[in-house]
Structure 1
Amino acid sequence: MTFFNSTVPPLRRKQKNLDFQDLQGLWRIHLQIGNTTLYSTFYTRIDQACIFWGLISAAIFFTAHFFPLSWNIQAALWSALTLIGTAVMVVWTRFWVKVEQVSWVLYCWVILMLVGLVLTDLGIFLGWGNVLMRLCPLWLGLSAFGYFLTGLGVRSRAILLAGIVHLLCIFLLPYFCGWEFLIAGGVMVISLLILAEFQWDMRSPISYDALTLEQKQFNQQQHQLRRMIV
């Protein structure tokens, strides 16, 4: 048995026969004019967390690039937004990670966000030049580490690739002086939105100990339906 599920591509169109844990808090979007469907998709709680963090990342990094706000004001605003984002992420994803037996991945993301937040605020309020000059590599590195842990936890090549892209971006930043925040923010936002918009690969279904017998049977039926479609 291989570590990754090589029977599916790293990214593909979203599956419609979702497991019980994926259906909780699901957002469905269907735009239609007459008989013509303009856009139809859905977003699980994991997808929603990716989109929310994408919006937060866009607000933080694009503001830092385009608007001349003082660092102290930005630190206060983005600290509050990061804490809100972390809390929302925990609330939205804790059931899914519990069922998938990867709660440790969520804890790691919380720790990474708090470490980044503390280092950033100390760098700004205490005037730590070395930190201020490396804010983009700092957050890219923390994100890459989080993606690597997540990719290994759920055995996803797509998520590991996102981590590799973040690392590569760190090495490319010195060649784009003055554009660091825009580029770093762009990489973070695009990666999150891609993961939210597509179905990424992960390990084969496991024995979901956190679910009831009926919920386990429902997941087995959904798995069989997905195999028939494939």
Structure 2
Amino acid sequence: MSAAAAPSDLMSPLALFLHADAVVKIVMIGLLLASVWTWGIIITHALRLRRLNRASDSFERDFAAAKDLDAFHASRGADPVPHARIVSAGLDEWRRSVRVKAADRSGARERLSTVMNAEVAGELDRLGDRLNILATVGSVAPFVGLFGTVWGIMRSFTAIAGANNTSLAVVAPGIAEALFATAIGLFAAIPAVIAYNRLTHGLDRLEARLGRFADRFHATLSRELELEG
């Protein structure tokens, strides 16, 4: 019974790792750490995007129903959503513009647009932080795993030449250990690529949403400028 179980034990993931060359072990450990880091980023960003979309729905509904911008900003201006910071940036610029006697309304509109667009870009930069890590892991991990595989196969062939024995029983364990590095590389890369594409798509949708909100708010402030004039 133990003799029959021995081959499968040798081919288990733990056995393949323990019997691998030191360089291949380093590659495997690095890829596993990259996978853990990747999943941490995926979960954090996915939850953040979901939370932001829900909070943005509530903020936009209340903003559309608001009759007094100053009162709305006083009550909701500190909300942890990008919309609130866009409103704060726009109102701050609007107040500075209307303080000036004979204000240039055309210039004020351009400044409002610039300020709010800059706030949208800044919010997206903050939300997209560390997504580049997913792209890096997705593109590099397979090649790192391949390096471990090539190194392991070279070591196996060297051992085979030294033993002067080319039977499958001698060749298989070393080849399996080497190929296991490629498998770990793909295990790290595939979720990273899928998540990067999905999260980037989510950020693109949020960017469009923020842009539409900024345009509506800009139109509202433009009407206020007309009344001030």
Q: TM-score, normalised by structure 2?
A: 0.31
Whichever structure has more helix as a proportion of its residues is: 2
Q: TM-score, normalised by structure 1?
A: 0.31
Query: Greater Rg, structure 1 or structure 2?
Result: 2
Whichever structure has more strand as a proportion of its residues is: 1
